[in-house]
Amino acid sequence: MALGWQMLERDRGGSMSIGAGQERRQDAGLGLARPSAGIAVDLRLYGILDTGVLGDDAAALAALAAEAVAGGATLLQYRDKDLTDARAALARIRAIHAAVNGRAPLLVNDRVDLALAAGVEGVHLGQSDLHPEEARRLLGPRAIIGLTVKTGAQADELYRLPIDYACIGGVFATASKDNPDPPVGLDGLQRIVFRARLARGQALPLGAIAGIDASNAASVIRAGADGVALIGALFKGGATEAKARDLRARVDEALGQRGNAGMR
C-alpha cells in the first residue's frame, strides 16, 4: 500500500498514527475495542470518479483527480459499476493513482482484488459487498476500509466492524445513481449519525453522500457528518479545481463552527 499521503497528513499535523498496525484501539466514547488500522481518515472532501458518469478515459479521469486534489479533495474513490474489462480498469486506477501522487488516498469501490493489484490505499464497501472482515483479512491492517450505512440498524452494527469510516446515504436525491430508497434527508442523516456515534463513539469519521453540492454541504456538516462525498457537484461540467476549493471552504467553515477540524 502506498503511504505518501500519510506523510502529508503528518506534515499537516493531522492525527495520523502510522504503525499502530495490529493493535486494538480503545474507542473514545464507550471503551469498546475494535480492530484498528490506526489511520485517521480525512473525509472532508471525498471525490468519487465514477466511470458511468464521467466516462472511462484514463487520462481524463486522472486529470479530474489531479484537479480535485489541487482544490482540496482529501480522499478519492474509483467507482466503476460496468466493469467488464478488469485490465482496463486497473490501468485507469493506476493512472489516477499516479496523477494524485500521494496527495490523497485513493480507494476502489467494491473491488478488493483491484485495490490490491493497483496498490492503492483501500476500498469502499456497501452492505452487499465483501464483508469488511474479509476485506481486512485480504488488505491488511494499514488499508483504509469504508462502509456505506443507509439505516439506523446498519449504524448499530458499526461497533464490531473493522472499518475506518462510514458514509451515510442517500441523503438527498441523486442523478448519479439509481437509489431505490427515498432520501433520508438531513433529519434522517442526523438520526443515523446519532446511532453511529452510540455504536462507535466520536472516533469513527462519518461522511454523507447523495445529491450534495455547494448549496447544502454546510447543512450536511451541521447535521453531524465529518465530510461530504460527491460525484456530480465536483466532477461534472468542468472547473473541478475551483469547485473543490469552494466545497472545501464550505465544509471547513461548517466544521469550524461546529468546533472540530474534521479529522477524527
Ligand X SMILES: Cc1ncc(COP(=O)(O)OP(=O)(O)O)c(N)n1
| Residues placed in the known binding site for Mg(2+) | 110, 129
For ligand X (CB under 6 A), the number of binding residues is 16
Is residue 36 near ligand X by the rule CB under 6 A? no
Nearer to ligand X, 29 or 152 (CB): 152
Binding partner of 80, given Mg ion, ligand X, ligand 3NM, none, CB within 5-8 angstroms per partner class: none
Return the residues of window 194-233 that contact ligand 3NM according to CB under 6 A: 209-212, 230-233
Nearest distance from C-beta of residue 80 to Mg ion, angstroms? 11
Side-chain half-sphere exposure of 243, counting CA atoms within 13 A: 23
Question: Is residue 115 within 8 Å of residue 143, measured between CB atoms?
Answer: yes
Determine the Cα–Cα distance for residues 260 and 262; give it in Å rounded to an integer: 6
The interface region with ligand X, picked from 32-40, 74-82, 185-193, 248-256 by CB under 6 A, is: 74-82
* Residue located via cell numbers 481524463: 60
- Written as nine digits, the cell of 101 is 501522487
Which residue intervals of the chain are DSSP H helices? 4-11, 51-54, 58-71, 86-100, 112-118, 132-139, 152-156, 185-200, 217-222, 232-235, 240-258
Is residue 148 near ligand X by the rule CB under 6 A? yes
Nearest distance from C-beta of residue 263 to Mg ion, angstroms? 25
Nearer to ligand X, 129 or 157 (CB): 129
Is residue 75 near ligand 3NM by the rule CB under 6 A? no
Nearer to Mg ion, 100 or 107 (CB): 107
C-alpha torsion sign, points 100, 101, 105, 109: positive
- Report the length, in residues, of the chain: 264
Residues comprising the binding site?
77-81, 109-110, 129, 148, 174-177, 211
Report the alpha-carbon angle 151-236-243, nearest 5.
90
Is residue 176 near ligand 3NM by the rule CB under 6 A? yes
Determine the Cα–Cα distance for residues 243 and 204; give it in Å rounded to an integer: 27
Q: Which of 14, 102, 126, 152 binds ligand X (CB under 6 A)?
A: 126
What single letter denotes the amino acid at residue 148? T
Residues 6+ apart with CB under 8 A from 59: 95
Is residue 232 near ligand X by the rule CB under 6 A? no
User: By the criterion CB under 6 A, which residues form the site for ligand 3NM?
Assistant: 48, 79, 148, 169-170, 174, 176-177, 179, 209-212, 230-233
User: By the criterion CB under 6 A, which residues form the site for ligand X?
Assistant: 46, 48, 77, 79, 81, 109-110, 124, 126, 129, 148, 167, 169, 207, 209, 229
